[in-house]
Each structure stands twice: as structure tokens, then as C-alpha cells.
């Protein structure tokens, strides 16, 4: 005897297929798995910090000699001459959290007082909604540090420009750097750190 599918069974099957397809589409939109296989490289010009450690060629140059001033001038007597070039305020090495992450972060101040955070030789995974944070959280290496920045005070410098290369982010004038001890590459969408660096002198 030949078996035929009833209209109810066909409708149930069509509904199941439709729900499954919708789930796949939503999953692709939310998780964006293809980003893990696409690198975005950004190579911006880095400010030259005269006080940065030797051996980091990407952002370090010989110190610029200060401009000469007449003997006995007020600037010479009081030592109040402005710096001749950008000065390094802090530096740190990125460590891996959820994704393998390497590179160097620096906080650099220009002679006019403006400050910038640089990411140098960055190499991490691409991902959705990854932001660059100045964080009050203490750096914790390994899986224990994946989520520490989420519960700490932070200042968001914006969406990361790319997952590789050299990048510069302006730090607003009103930001008190003494409140922040680390830099975190934070995935806002999934509340997890890709990588982080402790800021030191």
C-alpha cells in the first residue's frame, strides 16, 4: 500500500525547514564567522617618541636636540622649555586572551599637549565589535583575564581600525590617564577580551 504524506505533515516539515534556515541566517549575522578568515591591515604613521625604549624601530628615533635659547633667559633658568618632540608617557606589550594577540601599545604626548594611544605591529584575530579600551582593570594573563575588563571602569577609544598593523587613537583631553592601568581589545558584542596590555612607565 502506497504511503502519502498528509498536508499537516508537509506543513510541519516546511515549518521546520524555515525555522532552521532562519536560525542559520541569524547565527551568521550575529557571529560573523567569516571575519576570522579575513585580515584587515592598517598602517598609520606613528608619532616618534624620543623617550621610547631602544630597539623598537617602528616608533622610536634619536632624541631631537632642544632648541637653543639665549644664556640667562627665563626658560633656560627655570628649565621650562617645552619638549622638542612627542614624549612617551606609558608603554606595554599585548598578551593573548581569547584570541592570540601580539604587539606594543604606547601612550604618547605631543608638544601641544594632545595625547595618542598607538598600537604597533598589532596582530590579532578579526572579530565583530572589537573596541580599544583604556581600562582600570589589572592585567591578568590566560583565561582568567578574559572577562576582567568588563567589570572595571574604562574609556572607549572606539572601534578597532583593523586586526593587524600600526594604528593611532586620539585620547580626549579630559581623560585622566592615572585612572587606567591597561589597554584592552574588548569585544563588546560577546563581552570578552581578545588581548590586553599593562601600561608601565
Domain coordinates of the chain in residue numbers?
Answer: 38-198
In whole angstroms, what is the distance from residue 107 CA to residue 92 CA? 9
Mean pLDDT of the residues in the chain? 80
Task: Give pLDDT, residue 22.
Answer: 53
Q: Which residues contact 102 (CB under 8 A, 6 or more apart)?
A: 93, 94, 96, 121, 122, 123, 124, 195
**What is the pairing mode between strands 154-159 and 130-135?**
antiparallel
User: If you count them, how many residues does the chain have?
Assistant: 201
Is the domain spanning 38-198 CATH 3.30.110? The answer is no
In whole angstroms, what is the distance from residue 99 CA to residue 163 CA? 11
Task: Give pLDDT, residue 53.
Answer: 42
For residue 74, the surrounding DSSP H or E stretch is helix 74-78
Distance of CA 178 to the CA centre of its chain: 19
Closest CA to 110 of 132, 91, 88, 80: 88
Closest CA to 92 of 162, 141, 163, 155: 141
Closest CA to 128 of 10, 15, 40: 40
Burial class (CB in 10 A: 0-12, 13-18, 19+), 21: exposed
Please identify every stretch of the chain with a pLDDT value under 70, giving residue numbers as ranges: 1-5, 13-36, 50-83
Q: How would you list the strands of the sheet with 192-198, edge to edge?
A: 41-43, 164-171, 115-123, 102-109, 87-96, 192-198, 182-187, 130-135, 154-159
pLDDT tens per residue, range 127-167: 889 999 999 999 999 999 999 999 999 999 999 999 999 99
Amino acid at each position: 500500500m502506497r504511503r502519502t504524506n498528509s498536508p499537516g505533515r508537509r506543513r510541519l516539515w516546511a515549518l521546520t525547514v524555515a525555522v532552521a534556515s532562519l536560525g542559520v541566517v541569524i547565527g551568521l549575522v550575529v557571529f560573523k564567522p567569516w571575519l576570522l578568515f579575513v585580515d584587515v591591515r592598517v598602517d598609520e604613521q606613528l608619532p616618534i617618541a624620543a623617550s621610547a625604549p631602544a630597539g623598537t624601530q617602528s616608533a622610536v628615533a634619536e632624541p631631537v636636540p632642544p632648541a637653543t635659547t639665549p644664556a640667562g633667559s627665563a626658560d633656560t633658568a627655570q628649565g621650562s622649555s617645552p619638549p622638542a618632540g612627542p614624549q612617551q608617557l606609558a608603554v606595554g606589550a599585548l598578551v593573548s586572551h581569547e584570541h592570540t594577540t601580539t604587539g606594543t601599545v604606547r601612550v604618547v604626548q605631543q608638544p601641544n599637549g594632545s595625547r595618542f594611544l598607538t598600537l604597533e605591529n598589532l596582530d590579532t584575530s578579526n572579530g565583530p565589535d572589537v573596541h580599544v579600551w583604556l581600562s582600570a582593570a589589572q592585567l591578568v594573563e590566560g583565561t582568567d583575564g578574559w572577562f576582567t575588563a568588563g567589570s572595571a571602569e574604562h574609556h572607549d577609544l572606539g572601534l578597532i581600525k583593523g586586526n593587524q598593523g600600526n594604528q593611532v587613537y586620539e585620547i580626549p583631553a579630559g581623560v585622566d590617564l592615572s585612572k587606567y592601568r591597561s589597554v584592552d581589545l574588548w569585544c563588546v558584542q560577546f563581552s570578552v577580551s581578545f588581548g590586553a596590555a599593562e601600561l608601565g612607565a
